[in-house]
Amino acid sequence: MTFKDLGLAPYVIRSIAKHEYQLPTLVQEKSIPVILQGKDILGIAPTGSGKTAAYALPIIQNLEGKTTTKNRHINVLVLVPTRELSVQVEEVFRSFTQELPFRFKSMAVHGGVSINPQMMGMQHLNVLVATPGRLLELKESNAMHFESLSTLVLDEADKMLNLGFKDEMDRIFALLPAKRQNLLFSATLSPEVEVVERMLLKNPTVVQIEAEKVNVEFINQVGYFVSAEKKGPLLRHLIKSNDWKQVLVFTSSVYHADLVADKLRKNGIDATAIHSKKSQGSRRDSLTKFTNGKLRVLVSTDLLSRGIDIAFLPHVINYELPRSPKDFVHRIGRTGRAENPGDAITFVTEEDKHHFGVIQKKMKRTVDMIDSNSLAF
Ligand code: ADP
Ligand code: MG
């Protein structure tokens, strides 16, 4: 199934091509045609499965010929739980609207910054991405009108409810026109989410994508006992002596990710770190390069590993252990393939030994260990 098959217009397809997305993800494949038809949707799919584009793309296309010209009337409201997410989601909308045959404007609003520029920005706005509190403040100042609103999106609904936004959400729903399309996306389907679903959605299409099961059987795993000071040299030794071309390295912190990437570069190995402190643009560049084989080593934190959408990776290195065994399996999961198993390598210090034991137990696999002192590097 290609993006074209989903009924997306040529101008949307062109913007997708710029992102170098090859194929729609599962949640996109199932959601896009439904949203294009104007129907309500309940989308449950794991983090990193591409939910943002799943709603942003059809929403953009649905706006064609329907954008409001009335001042301070908005067409689409996207509610998100956090400031970071409001910025991220708005960036996604903007990145897909460079080539539209019609005028389009989107904006993110969130608390913690001055409200005045946000009030000014409401002029001729189509898509507003907002956190609930700031949206209500703006509405109280009469900054925008909802009469032309045709679509409401709740993104990360589970998180929004966990953070206690239920009251604010109810107040916002009461302000919106009754006739509208409702799209509810969440990583999990909690009882609280179901309450909102029943209240908000009319005969929704339910799209539920299960988290991919990682089959650890198909992964060549090996561990190296190594001291903290020798991790850098061991990493370089492994990459160089095996002549690996595409290596994903995990660290436990942003700081360490930068440090490891710097050190590799100083030693002539092309490496870049990606983590939450890097801009969306720079992350995307690094990922594209890495995917296309133009970047040898990508150093990442766990947070971002979920956004790394590469189906298969030959080599994953756990430079530092993650706290949770689940994250460990998630990290190494991309190397597991029946026909072509990859390598997952884990560095284990004296202090890690116990924790690595716990991880192996949880994963129900025993990992063969090599003492790095026995290697010449
Ligand atoms: P979710 O909201 O489900 O957690 P996101 O929408 O944030 O996921 O997407 C996760 C990552 O996947 C982003 O970096 C995004 O650019 C990328 N992505 C989304 N759709 C595709 C696709 N069809 N092909 C490749 N990458 C994609
Ligand atoms: Mg999301």
Same fold? 4-208, 216-374: yes
Given the candidates 3.40.50.300, 3.40.50.970, 3.20.20.70, 3.90.79.10, the CATH classification of the domain at 216-374 is: 3.40.50.300
The best mutation among 16, 52, 284, 285 to test binding of ligand 1, ranked by most ligand atoms within 8 Å of the C-beta, falls on 52
Cβ burial of 202 (10 Å; 0-12, 13-18, 19+) is exposed
Tell me the average pLDDT across 80-91. Answer: 92
- At 106 the three-state DSSP class reads strand
% helix / strand / coil in the chain, to the nearest 5? 45, 15, 40
Q: Ligand 1: residues within 6 Å at CB? A: 21, 24-25, 28, 45, 47-53, 307, 309
pLDDT digits (tens, 9 = 90+) for 31-76: 999 999 999 999 999 887 899 999 999 999 999 988 767 889 999 9
The best mutation among 5, 21, 292 to test binding of ligand 1, ranked by most ligand atoms within 8 Å of the C-beta, falls on 21
The best mutation among 309, 312, 334 to test binding of ligand 1, ranked by most ligand atoms within 8 Å of the C-beta, falls on 309
Mean pLDDT (the chain) is 91
Q: Of all protein residues, whose CA lies closest to atom 17 belonging to ligand 1?
A: 50
Give the list of residues 6+ apart from residue 242 with CB closer than 8 angstroms, or none: none
Element (H, E) at 250: strand 247-250
Domain ranges of the chain: 4-208, 216-374
What is the rounded CA–CA span in Å between residue 52 and residue 309?
Answer: 14
Taking alpha carbons only, the member of 301, 298, 210 closest to residue 251 is 301
Q: For 32, list phi and psi in degrees, rounded to 5.
A: -55, -50
Least confident range from 208-212, 314-318, 328-332: namely 208-212
CATH dotted code for 4-208: 3.40.50.300
What is the rounded CA–CA span in Å between residue 360 and residue 354?
Answer: 10
* pLDDT at site 109: 97
Q: Decide if 231 contacts 264 (C-beta within 8 A).
A: no
C-alpha 305 to ligand 2 mean position (Å): 14
pLDDT digits (tens, 9 = 90+) for 317-334: 999 999 989 889 888 887
- Tell me, rounded to whole angstroms, the distance of Cα 79 from its chain centroid: 17
What interhelical angle do 325-332 and 353-363 show, nearest 10? 70
* 271-274 sheet: strands from edge to edge: 271-274, 297-300, 247-250, 315-318, 343-348, 220-225, 368-371
C-alpha 281 to ligand 1 mean position (Å): 13
Q: Decide if 93 contacts 168 (C-beta within 8 A).
A: no
pLDDT digits (tens, 9 = 90+) for 114-127: 999 999 999 999 99
